[in-house]
Structure 1
Amino acid sequence: MESSCRAGAPPAMGGLPSAMAWASLRRGMAGERFRRMIDAPAIRPPRGYGLIWGWHPDSDAPLDEAAVDALLRRHPEGGGLWLHLDLTDTRARPFLQSLATQAPRALPPFAVEALLERAEAPHLELREGVLSGAVPDFHHDDGAEPDPQRMGLLTVALTPALLITARRHPMRATHHRGIVAMPGAEPAARWDSILREVLAGVGRCGAGIAAQLNRIEEELLRGEDDRRAELSGLRRAALLLHRRIEPLALAYEELAEAPGGWLEAAGHAPALMERRLRMALRVTQGLQDRGRIAQDELASLVAGEANRRLLVLSILTALLLPPSLIAGIFGMNTTDLPGTEAAGGFWWALGAILASAVLALGLMLGLGILGRRRR
């Protein structure tokens, strides 16, 4: 089978790494104890299992599948590994299932199910000492800024000795250089950095939305009302951000209240992460409130313009209705109409039409309809 790992080292043959895999193993891991791992007894995962990359606290370069195999043979529980997998590779499923079925197992079955599920909403739970679930992240597009409409879910399983993340689309946080290259980082500390990068993306996205809202608010104060489509898009973006972060904040609120957890000692403090998530929620809630206020102001401007146009139409109707009535009377082809026989009847009718219009105008002025100041 052809490996999907980016390091590109060939798989081991005959139960032992080949010469190229041996060289990759030596480059990928530091310390004499890691170079002796190939002599350990075999608990072997299937070859070619959708590995994007693997990192160990003592490695200074990504590990290929041969190096990961060697570590798992030596430390079936994980040995401090971070494995990042591509779930679109069908070989990832049997590999993850092998971690729950081979003894000693690295993950419990429920954690493997959490990694493989097609979750629709973020969720996390700490069960039997394993943190598992799905967290939101932005799609990774080279050169593109975080977009709330292009977000997915990163599934995770975290134990004291192993971090596995999996995705079906490239995610932004796991591709960040500061997270990928973290020499000496234990699994929990690396997971903490991934979540902080997710929140950094939320912050950058929120700052972009806030800047656009600032511009729209200034235009609304100048009386411009042509930003309806853009404002609706910004409100939707703020709502999407809030909906993605809120379940994660609730999950970490429960984790922060759970007694006696191992996460904080391992480098991931749930209470601190819960505060950061709450801060992100306040930002997204503030953006939603600003968008709602701007929408109300825009609706007020539109309603005011509609009322002004309706007022003009009403005034014209009031001015033209009496002349129209008089013209209609004189337009009837009946007998006994005044002025039909006398000379100058047309001018008398025209004068009556103009007089009725002047009378209607004077009546509106007297009632104050035309004299009211616009506030």
Structure 2
Amino acid sequence: MAQQGKFRKSKKSDDFNLDNYLEEQSEEAYPTEEQEGFNEESSSFFRNIILVGAVAVASFLWYFDWSPSNAYNFFFAEEATTQQTAGGINIDIPPINIDIPEINVEVDIPEFNFDEVDQGGQAAPLNMSFTDYMAALNDRGYLDNFGSSSLSTMYQNNVPIEYIDELGQAGVLDNFGGTSITTLFTNNVPTEYINQLQAYGVLDNFGGTSISTLYENRVPTEYIIRLRQAGMLDNFGGTSISTLYGNNVPFEYLQALNEAGVLDEFGGTSISTLYTNQVPTSYITQLSESGLMDNFGSTSISRLYSNNVPISFIQGLEDRGLLDNMSSQSVIDAYRIDGE
């Protein structure tokens, strides 16, 4: 009995199915068609990705002439040189930076010689009618430059066609009207003097009357050029420049006034008065810095300086409200009475 119990099958073994077991083992050893298809799809997808990537890289390198360095420079270089391909040849063109220095060309223009010019005399008659005068100007292309009043003025003052033509040939006719041309001609200003002012680039600073004044006072163009180079030409007209030149006022004196910011306070005659009376620019500068320039002109300043009146005394009068009621002579008298 015991032995019979020993070989009795268990309850669990009654449910064991050998066919099912063998089928499960065979499926594990040999995958099904569905599983194989899935694996093949995954493998094909990755191969396609790799192929597309390879084509992209090849295209990118082809664009940069198969040069990895060119491709790198395109994205990362700070200053990539420009590449041009011509007939399969790569040409490196570096950036070109050309510093062009400023070129100052000094034109050697001979100084005008006043002694070599014929000063002329009374203008000769034109010996032509007014209609012929206009026709002659029209033939030379100058008629449109003038109105009827200008034409009449030039004709009545016997301004010859040749004089107008010389101005036209020099390219300065547009700078003047009929009255200015008449003034220049009647004052015997030669076109050579006008041409030289034009050559130095200072003609636009003057009209016919100013140029006539400069010429009559024999002011050399070199003197005018020095004023321009010092930045002081716009401060003066023809009369002032002639006065400064005639009184031998040195440029250093003018420059000192300009640097002190008081040059605009005076004209050529006033500056000449100050210089002639040996008033130093320091005295004038102190007046300006003390706010006293509006109280005195050049003659008064010269008188105050000549009488040794110090700026401090003048400032004291201003501080007490007395200066507005006093002339320069009153200031001098007060200074003397106070015992200097």
Do they fold alike, i.e. is TM over 0.5? no
**Structure with larger Rg:** 2
TM-score by length of 2: 0.21
